[in-house]
Amino acid sequence: MAKGSGIPAAAGRKGLEERVIHEAERNRIFEEGRDSYPQDWQYNNKPRLPVYVELDGTMVGSREPGEERFEVKGGIMYRDIRQIGKTRYRLMDKMVYSSADSSVVFSERFYAFCRKRGLPNSGKKIFLSDGAGWLRTSAEYVFPQAEKRLDLYHLKKACSKVLNDEEMDIINQTIYSIYKYS
């Protein structure tokens, strides 16, 4: 437990408490095989929107002696994309999770995090990433039925290498429609 007083110590203590909670959920699902939540069996007559899941990682500098950098992995789950301006969009009902765990532990904890916050066991799931190796493995491991897609940033980047500005404008106008209504 983080010792001392003040904001850094309080944040450290809260972080450790959260880690224990996330590990207990991960253990319940992946070690004990108990992956049942009310959203799976409660009747709901509304049509289900697809659930979008995006994962990525980034390298950050470390303050630990002998460790220069480490990867922080992040995931977001959301249900819809709404246009709020001519070129601006907002993710709706979003949940965000991050950690510096190994890719397997991160994937399991993120899945448990999503399940606890309403991810249904059935229904359409769309997994978005840059296609890196650990992300493909994670998608197949914890979201095997999900439709896998290249995330918007990397899709636009790939398109911009072969299309002119006018064609890119058409792509930019179309991309969100494709993702929104899929």
> Three-state SS across 86-153?
CCCEEEECCEEEEECCCHHHHHHHHHHHHHHCCCCCCCCEEEEECCCHHHHHHHHHHCCCCEEEECHH
Query: Is position 41 within any domain?
Result: no
Per-residue pLDDT, 9: 84
Residue showing tokens 């493909």 = 136
Query: Is position 8 within any domain?
Result: no
Per-residue pLDDT, 152: 82
Per-residue pLDDT, 28: 82
Q: Return the number of other C-beta atoms located less than 10 Å from residue 101's C-beta.
A: 19
pLDDT per residue of the chain (182 residues) written in tens, 0 to 9: 456 788 888 888 888 898 888 888 888 888 887 777 766 666 666 667 889 999 999 999 988 888 899 999 999 999 888 888 877 888 888 999 999 999 999 999 999 999 998 888 888 999 999 989 999 999 999 999 999 998 888 888 888 899 999 998 888 878 766 655 55
**How many structural domains are present in the chain?**
1
Query: Is position 23 within any domain?
Result: no
Query: Is position 131 within any domain?
Result: yes
The neighbouring-strand residues paired with 91 are 81
Query: Is position 21 within any domain?
Result: no
Query: Is position 182 within any domain?
Result: no
Query: Is position 166 within any domain?
Result: no
Per-residue pLDDT, 54: 95
For 27, half-sphere exposure in the C-beta direction (CA atoms, 13 angstrom radius) is 6
Query: Is position 143 within any domain?
Result: yes
The neighbouring-strand residues paired with 117 are none
The domain of 57 spans 53-150
